[in-house]
Structure 1
Amino acid sequence: VGTKKITNNLRRILFGGTFHVFNYEWRKSYFQFREANSELSYACVFQGGAQAIQMVIQARVIRELLFGPRQGDQEKALAVALSDSLWLVGEEKATVTLVTEDYCITPHLDYKLDNFTEKVESSAFKEEGSHGVILFLYSLICSRTLDRLRDDLDSNTSHLLHLSLGNFVCHQALLSLLLTGRASPQLFNGTLDSSEDGLERRLQGILARGDVGYLYWSREQMDRGLLPQVGSMLKTPRFPVWVCCINGTYSVLFSLNRSLLSDWRMEHQFQLFYYNGQNSHKTTTRLTVDTHSHHWEAPSSDPGGDLEKRFPSLEMIIRTKWAGAVINWNGTDPFY
C-alpha cells in the first residue's frame, strides 16, 4: 500500500477527512515521568493536547508498578504499558510505527507476548520532540487495522477525534479502544438496537472487561439529565485502577488492594488514591471510602445551594461505582 494512501486512511479514521492535521499541542506530547525519587515517581508528566491517551497509559503504568512482576521499575512499567495496549488492540499481533529520515514505516511485530514486551523501544515515545503520543496513536490504529476499526464503530461515530475549543479531543471510541481493545463508541455493556427517524441503528457498547477501568462524571450533563450510564464492564476491571473523566478532564483513581474487586467485604471501607496529572498536584490524594455509613445525601433541587462545594465532582464519580458512599478527604481540601 502506498505511503499516500496509508496517510490518507490514517487521517480519515482520526479526523473524518484528510484536511485536518495535528496541532502543536498534540505534536509536543510524549510520555515522560516525574522525578524518580519524588513521592510522585510513578506519575507521568502531562503536556500537550493528548491527556486522555496519556492518562490510560498512566493507569497501566500504575497497574504494572503495583501488581506486575517488575514492581518499582519506571522504564519497564512504561514499556509494558505501551506494549500491552498495542497487543490488546491487535489481538496478539501488533504494529509499531517509527519515524525514519524519509517516511513513516510500520514494521510488523508478531511474537509471543513475553517477547513482544521486550521489543517495544519505549525511548521512541518518551523523548522530547519524538511526537511520542502521535506515534503511539498511529501504532494503535495500525495494530487494530482500519477494517476492524470500521467494524467497531457505529453510525453515530465514524472517526476517533473531534474538534473542541480549538483542540482535537478523543471520542469515547478511542478511549474504549485503549481500555478494552475495541473502539466501542458507547459506554453501556453489549449492543443496543435503536430506531431514530425511522432508521434502524445498532449502537456498539463494551463487550469485554479490561485490565483497567473507566468512570465518567459530567456536572453539566447531570444537570441536564443527560449523564450516560457506564456499564459494569468498564466499572469493574481486572485490577483496581480506573481512568476518570471528570467534567472533561482526565485523572486516575487506584487502590493498593487487588482484592477490592474480588471480595465484597473489602468494599465496606477502603482507601483510594487519586492523581490528576496537573503540575499543581504535588502529592497523591488519599481518600477513605465508606459504603456503610448511610449518611450521604443526594443533591437537592435547591437552586440556591452551592452543590460544587457540597458535593465535589470527584466524590460524585466515585459514587457512580459505589452508590451512596461517604468520602473522607483525610485532611486534603476537597477539589473539583
Structure 2
Amino acid sequence: MDRRPLDRDSSLKTMELEDIATRISALDKWRSIFSSQGLEIRTPAMQATQDPHKADEEIEERAETTNSKKHGTFPGSIFYSIPRELIIASDLGGQPISIEMAMALKKILFGNTFQTFNYEWKKSFFKFREAFSEQAYGFEAEKGGTRAIQLVVQAHIIKYLLFTRNKHEYTSIKSLSELSQKQQEMALATSIADILWTTGEMKRATTCLITSDSYFTESPDYKTDNFTERLQLFEFVEKDKLEKFVCAHIHCFKEEGSHGVILFLYSLLFSRTIERIQQDLDHTISHLLHFCFGNYTVRQAVLNLMLTGRASPHVFNGDRAVDDENVEQKYHGVLTRSDVGYLHWGREEMEHNRLPQVGSMLKTPKYPIWLCNINGTYSVLFGTNMSLLCDWKMEHSFELYFYSGQSTQRKTAHLTIDTHSHHWEKTYKIDEGDHEKKFPSLEMTIRTKWEGAAINWHGTMPFF
C-alpha cells in the first residue's frame, strides 16, 4: 500500500498544529502585555456579539467554569478593562496593597481567598440622574446586590443636601432638583468621606484607588482578579484632607468602568480595619457577603457599618448575652444613634413572625432619613423638617418623601403621615387576612415606626 498521501496529510496536520500553537503563543504574549496595562483582548466571537453585556456575560461564564474546576463553585474570576483616565499614577504616594492585605480583605468579604466579584458588581458605580432634573439628587440604582450600598450613600447625599450643606438655612425639597453636575460630585465626595470618617471612629480613614501596576502575582493560596492587586491605599487623619482627596478623584467612583462601588466597599473595610471588623462580628456570621441565586448581597453588618461605623450583625439596641444550651453567646447590636436610620419590612418574615425588631437607635436617627429594606429591596424615606425627631407634637401630621432609585420612578413620591387617624385599622379588623394585599409594603414599613399611621399619597398610585 502506498502510504505517501497519508504521510503528506499527516505532515500537513502537524504543520497546521504547529501554526496554531504559534498563534496561541503569540496571542498569550499580547494578552499578557495588554493585561499589564489594564487592557484586554476581545476575540472575534466576542466582537460579533451584538449586545456588549451578553459578551461580558459569556466571558464570565467561561471564566467561572475554569475557576470552578480549580477551586470549587466560586462565581466570577476576572475584571474588565478600566479606562485609562480612571487609573491613577503609581507614584501618587499611597501604600501599595500586599498579598497579605488582599487575602485578609477577601476572607472578610467572601470567607476565602479564591472568590471574586461577579459581573454585576464589576460594572456598578455611583451614577447620578441628569443634572437640573426632577431627581437630580438621586442615583440610578436598579435591583441587585450593590443596590444596598448605593442607597446608603444616597441617604447620606440627601443628608448633606438638606441639612449639612447650609447648616443655618432651611432647605426645601425643591433644592434637590437644582443641582449641577459639579454639585452632584461635591455631594457624592462629601458623603463618601463622611461615611469613611465615621467608620474610622472620627480619627482616620482610608481611600482605595487603582493604579496601572500590579503589586503581587497569583499564588496557590490566592486567586488574582487584575483589580485588587493593583490597589493603593491612602490614609488620612484629617477629615478636610480626606474630603479634598476624594473630591479630586471622584471620577474613580462615579464613572462607568470604574468599579466604583467595589472601590468604596474596599475603602470602607480598610477605614474600619479588618481586625476591628472581626471584633464587631459575632458567632452568627464569619464574612460580610452572602452568595444566593447567582449574586452577592451584603449582610446587615455591612449596612450597620455604613450607618453607624460598627459592623454589628444585628439591628436591636446594644449587645445581648443569651444562654444557648448552657453556653453564653454574645450578640452584637447597635450601640449608638446613627445619622441615617433604618426601617425593615418583609412579607415572608412577617408571615413567620421573624421580622427583625429594629431598635430605637436605628428607628430614631439624628436626621429624618431612613434606609428602607422592603422585602429585600432597598430605598430611601426622608423628611425635610429636623423637628420631626425632637418634638413629639410634629409627629401628629408630617410630610415624608420616598425615593427608590429605580428608573421607573420618575418623580419623588410625596407622602403625608397622619398618626391620629387610624381609619386604616378598621378595614384590617373587618378582614384579618393578608393586610399587605390591602396596603402597600411601604405603608407597612412606615407603620413599624409610626404604628397605626394613615398615609396620603397625594394622588400618586401607591407602589412598593
TM-score, length basis structure 1: 0.95
| Residue number in structure 2 paired with 1:23 | 118
C-alpha spacing 1:257/1:199, structure 2 compared with 1 (3 Å): same
- The Cα offsets for residues 72-94 of structure 1, whole Å up to 9 and x where unpaired, read as 52111100110011101111201
Pair 1:46 & 2:156 matched: no
Count of aligned positions: 335
CA contact (8 A) 1:95 1:106 kept: no
Please, which of 332, 357, 367 is the counterpart of residue 204 of structure 1?
332
Counterpart code for 2:436: E
Are the counterparts in 2 of residues 29 and 49 from structure 1 also a CA contact under 8 Å? Answer: no
Whole-Å separation in 2 of the counterparts to 1:2 and 1:257: 44
Q: 1:112 deviation in Å?
A: 2.4
Provide the C-alpha distance between the structure 1 equivalents of 2:430 and 2:113, rounded to a whole number of angstroms: 47
2:192 aligns with 82
Q: Name the CA distance, whole Å, in 1 between partners of 2:305 and 2:416.
A: 31
Which residue pairs with 2:268 in the alignment? 140
Give the alignment's TM-score, normalised by structure 2: 0.70
Q: Which has the higher helix share?
A: 2
Unaligned runs of 5+ in 1: none
Q: What is aligned with 1:160?
A: 288
Alignment partner, residue 231 of structure 2: 105
Indicate the residue corresponding to 2:241 in structure 1. Answer: 115
- 102-111 or 306-315: bigger deviation: 102-111
Inter-partner Cα distance in structure 1 for 2:413 and 2:341 = 19
Q: For residues 316-331 of structure 1, what are the structure 2 equivalents within 5 Å?
A: 316-331=444-459
Say whether the 8 Å CA contact 2:403–2:413 is kept in structure 1: yes
Percent identity between the aligned chains?
54
Q: Distance in 2 between the 1:108 and 1:126 partners?
A: 19
Q: Is 1:32 paired with 2:143?
A: no
Which residue in the other structure is 2:389 paired with?
Answer: 261
Cα deviation, residue 309, structure 1 = 3.3
SS in 2 for 1:96: strand
Q: Superposition pairs for residues 1-336 of structure 1, below 5 Å?
A: 3-47=98-142, 49-69=145-165, 72=179, 73-91=183-201, 92-103=203-214, 104-120=230-246, 121-297=249-425, 299=428, 305=433, 307-336=435-464
The answer as to whether partners of 2:436 and 2:444 remain within 8 angstroms in 1 is: no
Shift of the alpha carbon at 1:7?
1.5
The structure with the greater share of residues assigned to strand is 1
**Structure 1 residue matching 2:370: 3-state secondary structure:** strand
Work out which of the two has the higher radius of gyration on C-alpha atoms and give 1 or 2. 2
Q: CA deviation at 1:332?
A: 1.0
Runs of 5+ consecutive residues of structure 2 not aligned to the other structure: 1-95, 167-174, 215-229
Task: Please give the alpha-carbon distance, in whole angstroms, between the structure 2 residues aligned to 1:106 and 1:195.
Answer: 44
Q: CA RMSD in A?
A: 1.8
Which one-letter code corresponds to 2:164 in the other structure? G
Secondary structure in structure 1 of the residue aligned to 2:445: helix
- 1:218–1:227 CA contact under 8 A, matched in 2: yes
Question: Do 2:97 and 2:232's aligned partners in 1 also have CA atoms closer than 8 Å?
Answer: no
CA contact (8 A) 2:145 2:298 kept: no
